[in-house]
Amino acid sequence: MTDGFPPGLTAEEADDLFIAGRVVAGERELFRYLVSRHQKAVYGMGRSFFRNREDVSDFVQEVFLKVYRSLSRFEGRSRFSTWLYSIAYNTAVNEVTRRKEYQSLAEGDAEADGDTPERKLVRDLARDAVLEAVGDLPERYRVCVDMYFFYDRSYQEIGMITGFPVNTVKSHVFRAKKLLREKLKEIAQGGIE
């Protein structure tokens, strides 16, 4: 752990680094604050990789166990969340490789409160079109698109998390957006005829 924080950190990010340092220094009970702060995001990532809640819960538990065990090796040169997501991503990829079942975050079916039946139908049809388009993307594109749009991660962070060079990440997101546009246009034109 370095004493100085990387430049440009938000207060929450600096707080993560401070808490991580205190945990490494022996205040292990503070780890629960890191879990509490990042559990939802790790759970969301798990949902993008695994199909059932039990697998997602097991994934979250495994990720935080790995983070806890590895915390003394975290040097603080990046945001804590980037380091955490890297561990989560690698854990998920290893498990998915073993199972072969990646599911994009876009496949979640969140519902808006107070939707009319017509709005729900339109939203469901739009979601189905996006799911079909996303489902046709190569896995490496889907992963980059998920992290870019759903996790609001920068190209650099996606590169750090996935191990892809930054230019490869940019290329994957660019190509994925182009393929999605073409596929959605094709679906829309097919629905009109």
Q: Which of 88, 103, 118 is the last residue of a domain?
A: 103
Domain that holds residue 162: 109-193
Of 145, 138, 170, 172, the residue nearest 156 (C-alpha): 170
**Both tokens of residue 70?**
């590895």
Mean pLDDT of 173-183: 85
Same domain, 91 and 118: no
At which residue do the structure tokens 């697998």 appear? 55
Same domain, 34 and 61: yes
Spatial distance between the Cα atoms of 16 and 174, rounded to a whole number of angstroms = 32
Spatial distance between the Cα atoms of 179 and 50, rounded to a whole number of angstroms = 24
Same domain, 89 and 155: no
First-residue to last-residue Cα distance in the chain: 61
Same domain, 61 and 116: no
**pLDDT band at residue 127 using 50, 70 and 90 as cut-offs:** low
Q: Which of 61, 80, 103 is the last residue of a domain?
A: 103
Q: Which of 62, 79, 103 is the last residue of a domain?
A: 103
Count of CB atoms within 10 A of residue 25's CB?
11
Same domain, 149 and 117: yes
Same domain, 115 and 176: yes
* 54-72 per-position pLDDT tens digit: 989 999 999 999 999 999 9
Q: Tell me, what CATH number does 12's domain have?
A: 1.10.1740.10
Find out whether 47 and 106 touch, Cβ atoms under 8 Å.
no
Same domain, 57 and 85: yes
192 vs 132, which has greater pLDDT?
Answer: 132
Spatial distance between the Cα atoms of 144 and 159, rounded to a whole number of angstroms = 9
Domain count along the chain = 2
Same domain, 91 and 13: yes
SS3 state at 15: helix
